[in-house]
Structure 1
C-alpha cells in the first residue's frame, strides 16, 4: 500500500507536537510521501541517531535543517 499525503495514516497523526514516535526505519519507509525526499536524505539528516524515536514533526524539522546546511 502506498501512502499519499492526504491519506490518513498512523504516521500522519504524529505531525502534532508530542504525537506518536517512530523509529528511523519506519520513517524511511515513508520518506517520499511524508517529506517529499528520498530515504537517503532522511538517512543523512539522521546520521548518528539510529536508535532513537522521533515524531513526524521532529523528522521534518531535522530534514529541513539538513537540506539548508551550508556545504563548504
Structure 2
C-alpha cells in the first residue's frame, strides 16, 4: 500500500515574509514586531495572507509565563 503525502493546494498567492512585515499594519492591524514574533523560527519563507493571519492569531493568544 502506497501512502501519498498531503500536498497543500491553494489559489491564494504566497508572499515573502519581508513583504508581509512591510504591510503588517494594513493587512493584520499589528506592528511589524508582532509579525516577527509570530514567525520566529519558521523554516518557510513564503506564506499566504490567511496563513499569516492564522499564525498571528495563535501568537497573540499564547500564554506568557
Shorter-chain-normalised TM-score: which range? 0.7 to 0.9
Please list every run of at least 4 consecutive aligned residues from structure 1 whose deviation after the TM superposition is greater than 6 angstroms: none
Shift of 1:48: 1.1
Q: Deviations over 1:13-34 (max 9, x none)?
A: xxxx820000110000100000
- Matches of 2:44 and 2:52, distance apart in 1: 14
RMSD: 1.5
Larger radius of gyration: 2
Q: Does 1:56 align with 2:49?
A: yes
TM-score by length of 2: 0.80
- Structure 2 regions of 5+ residues with no counterpart? 1-8
